[in-house]
């Protein structure tokens, strides 16, 4: 019995040491063409008719580019930029997904659909295009009305950050430019 335990412990250790050593490789190379030094992020369009949602998503993309852009200059104006990130917030929906014992919705799911296009202005070509970016998040209402705090706004902020992280990660790490 102890021999089986020792053998299984050895196998588990061997799998952990050899199998997962290469799983995480930090990406240090910027996949954007070397000529792109300045990225313009004009205000996103708001087709969802939700107050200030376009400014939250635009601001999140700008902040993420500044934070992780690896030396990229970020501006709001298209003129003079090497690349432009254009975005449209197409829809904003929320619905109750969990009811409390009185039949009131306690947990809501927020779904935001957006379209994003990244254009290389120097060569006049599209580097990235996704017309169906869908992000979901949820927020919860407190049971006690005295402790009420609307969680919708923080949920939208979290979704904007996740949206920005996804776009910037795609731009800086995943775009494969044919040579």
| Residue-range domain boundaries for the chain | 2-174
Residue 53 has pLDDT above 50, yes or no: yes
At 21 the pLDDT is 46
What is the pLDDT confidence band of residue 25, given thresholds at 50, 70 and 90? very low
Q: Which residue has the higher pLDDT, 178 or 18?
A: 18
- pTM > 0.85: yes or no: no
Pairing relationship of beta strands 105-120 and 125-140 according to DSSP bridges:
antiparallel
Residue 110 has pLDDT above 60, yes or no: yes
Nearest-angstrom CA–CA distance, 64 and 53 = 17
Q: Which of 92, 75, 71 is nearest to 84 (CA)?
A: 75
Q: Which of 91, 88, 93 is nearest to 152 (CA)?
A: 93
What is the pLDDT confidence band of residue 102, given thresholds at 50, 70 and 90? confident
What's the whole-number mean pLDDT along residues 131-158? 70
Topology (CATH) of 2-174: Double Stranded RNA Binding Domain (3.30.160)
Q: Which two tokens stand for residue 14?
A: 């061997």
At 178 the pLDDT is 47
């Amino acid at each position: 019995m102890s021999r089986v335990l020792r053998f299984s412990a050895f196998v588990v250790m061997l799998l952990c040491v050899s199998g997962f050593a290469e799983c995480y490789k930090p990406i240090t190379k910027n996949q954007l063409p070397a000529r792109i030094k300045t990225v313009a992020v004009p205000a996103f369009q708001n087709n969802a008719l939700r107050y200030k949602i376009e400014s939250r998503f635009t601001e999140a993309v700008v902040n993420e580019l500044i934070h992780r852009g690896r030396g990229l200059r970020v501006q709001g104006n298209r003129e003079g930029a090497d690349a432009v990130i254009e975005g449209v917030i197409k829809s904003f929906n929320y619905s109750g997904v969990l009811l409390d014992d009185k039949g009131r919705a306690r947990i809501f799911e927020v779904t935001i659909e957006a379209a994003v296009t990244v254009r290389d202005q120097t060569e006049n070509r599209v580097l990235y295009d996704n017309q169906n970016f869908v992000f979901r998040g949820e927020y919860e209402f407190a049971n006690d009305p005295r402790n009420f705090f609307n969680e919708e706004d923080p949920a939208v902020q979290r979704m904007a950050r996740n949206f920005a992280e996804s776009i910037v990660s795609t731009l800086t790490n995943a775009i494969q430019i044919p040579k």
